[in-house]
Chains A and B, each alone.
Chain A
Amino acid sequence: MDLFLTNSSFALHKTLIERLELCGLLEVCFADWATISWNTGQNQVIIEELAILTPQYIELLCNLIDIPNNPPYITGYWTKDGQEIENSEETVNRNNEQYIIKRTFSIQARDLGNYSCMFRENEAQVTFVLVVPVIKDKRDKPVVSYTGDSVVLECKLKHTPNTWNWYKANNTEKGLINVTANPLNYKIFINGNETKLTVLNLTEEDSGKYICSAEFDIKPSESYVELKVLSYTEPLKPFIAIVVEVIVLVTLILLWEKCNKPDGANVFSSTRDESNGVQNNTARQRKLEH
């Protein structure tokens, strides 16, 4: 089976993505294409992710090769989010043992989704996932900090949005964080494709979900970070427990030794029993000295 993404096709893929970002509203952008190879008995499903920043026209292309029996034509169609798009079916003629199907889509905010080219005759398909840039490195564990301390929450993207906004989520509501209204509590730093929110003078109420929103022309891209604010008594509990344990241990050890200590002879004879000739030596040494 041919590997789908050879180096050359990858290079092409990258170039196309770059071209995509330069596209404006009314241009047709040759956004992405995929080559699927179909061998007898093998299904191949390929998934390609495309980041869309602005509303535009996008052309998607699927190229099917290595079909057994090389029929003169095959039938292909497009689906969006699993639903077949009406009137998208077309007959593809063989062209040098390749079958190419392509279609231009107009993409607005509501048109984002999964677009697939599929064929009636076999199971090969390519899915193009059209989304706003996704904020990938999201912490799934909450950020922990302490009252009176400060904390930095950050969001990063590969593409640069028009601007960033931060929200604090209260149940289902989102409240915009306004730095000018609360200069003592918040600081927002924006630098192209990354942003940092600094929350100062933490209190327990500052716990909760914080949402960073990257504003693109087409749609904002959001990600959230959870903040937990603890009081200092939290880590103090295991700490005190360990310190108590250490004190108990040390007291026990020293007491035990004190109880065994008056028996100086005991210590001597016990060591004599346990070890090899060493103690015998000292015993004999005593005899010699006497």
Chain B
Amino acid sequence: MDECQSAIPAHDGDLHVVAAAHHIVKALGTTKNLSDDLRKILIDLDAHLSLITSNIDSKGGKGFVEVEERLKRVERKIVIWESDRIMIWDSGPKEASDYLEAVDEVQTLIDSLRGLSMNENQKQKELLHRASSLLQMAMSRLEEELIHMLVKHKQQSEPTYIPSPSSQRNVVYNESVVSLDNESAKEASSKNSCSDECGEYIVDLVPEHVIPDIKSIAKVMFASDYGQEFCEAFIGVRKEALEQHFDILENGKLSIEDLLKMEWCSLSTEMNKWTWSMKIIFGVYLMSEKRLCDQVLGEFGSVNSFCFLEIAKTTILCLLNFGEAIAMGPQEPEKLLRLLDMYETLADLVIDIDALFSEDGGSFVRLEFHKLLEGLADSVKAAFNAFGVAVSSNGSLYPFPGGGVHPLSKYVMNYISMFPEYCSTLNLLLEDQHSDVASLVSEPQCGPTASLSTSCPMACHLRSITSSLESNLHKKSKLYKDEALQHIFLMNNLHYMVQKVKGSELRPFFGDEWIRKHNAKFQQHEMNYERVTWSSVVLLLKDDNPGSSSLSKSAFKEKCKGFSIAFEEVYKNQTSWCIPDPQLREDLRISTSLKVVHAYRTFLGRNPAHVDDKCIKHTVEDVEKLLFDLFEGSPRSLRNSRRMMKT
């Protein structure tokens, strides 16, 4: 309105011009189909021209009669609501638009009164004060209406369609390098993969139809220079709403001190919650909040990003601090998968975070999250290395009973079978440590002929881990005094490793060459077992004197007895041994049977004369049957059973 000031007529002659202009404006104002903006301009112009007239009139003493009249009219419209208990916007759209119109009018009057030079005109001053009071009353009211509106609709629009993290929480978390059975390791390792379910989606934090109302209040408050009040009220409600959503996600308010002391089990739950919360808060709520801010405040410039930052900051800091606490904690191997989840989640969100906080004020937030991402990357690497160290250094004092599949093998193989899901991340993070490991794992897969999947950093690390596992198993096998059991143990565990590789996503990373080689390894142990256990036993049946047709009775008896004792000894020992894999057990029994039963049958067949019940403790059929008791993991003794049979 400043430019109008110069338009105040200096000469009486100009009065005609003003009057004429006023007429034209009034006439134009009656035209239908005017755009809102144009109509507003005309109304303003009308008000201003009438003021000029009255100002000139006032010199004649008549005063601002018309202005006062208009002020009185509008005053009634505004004051009437002060005693009303009902909210204006709840009363109906008509009431709301009338009220906004009234506020517009007050603002117009104020602008016009201000536009006039203040030549100590008492009346003008008084009117201006009255109008300002009225404006303050209206603004205060609008602020209240705004808060009411935001709060009311905030609660109505509680999103119910976001999948709850509880679906993921039925998972067992307490992984540790020792004593884990197959199932819990598998469960515990299951990847937290909700990114596919929820992705990024924007919800209406405030119902669509309310936005124009909020905007209309924003418009009029900003136009009256009450933008600050609008922002504070808006920020206040929205910030609280966001914090409530954050609370619903059940993020424990934990200090760093608490987190560093926390048991792994609870910590793992918290880490999962964080991953989940990050996705929901950034992917859903902040995205939606940003859109709401853009819708409401888009046309008010930097205010928009300021409000958004204020709304988001405390919640973001909470998430950030949790991440920092995890990144600084000791990186134990069991944390690896959860850390990978956290890293991947943040890596996915970083682009969004950059976009959400692209303005200067948000650079702090952007920077902090980039720092956190680096920290988490280091943590993943540290945990990965710790895992490798744990695999190679896991020590035992006593041999694992039965020579079955060691828990370490189960744990390691189940754990690493989760890695392929994180393949691209692990390849990225392990890249710089790749060359060291690749040279350590001097498998042909890492050579020039290797395919891509077997030569990627993760593949080399995987094979390095399994080779650590192998050497550790060799160490563990030395704890058995019985050499045969050493071979059973190694056979079992190597067979288990091969099976795990073959039956999982690990296969392409290990390659057929690795499988072939390791098949050969466990088969070698199988053969070694047979040699160590049975060669001496079979040797007892050997013909000392190949020339003669048959043995003397006593020699035969002696040999029979020797065989029985040796066989019973093996039986007693090896029924307590264990081959968990039925196929492997079957194969070994058959090949043992072939060797032993065949030798026994031949031996007996060669001495038909001596064969009678007294010397032969076990018939061929007995031996054949008894061999099937081996490796069942339940110790038996033939002497006992024989005695039992007799009594």
A pairs with B: no
Q: List residues of chain B with CB under 8 Å of any chain A CB.
A: none
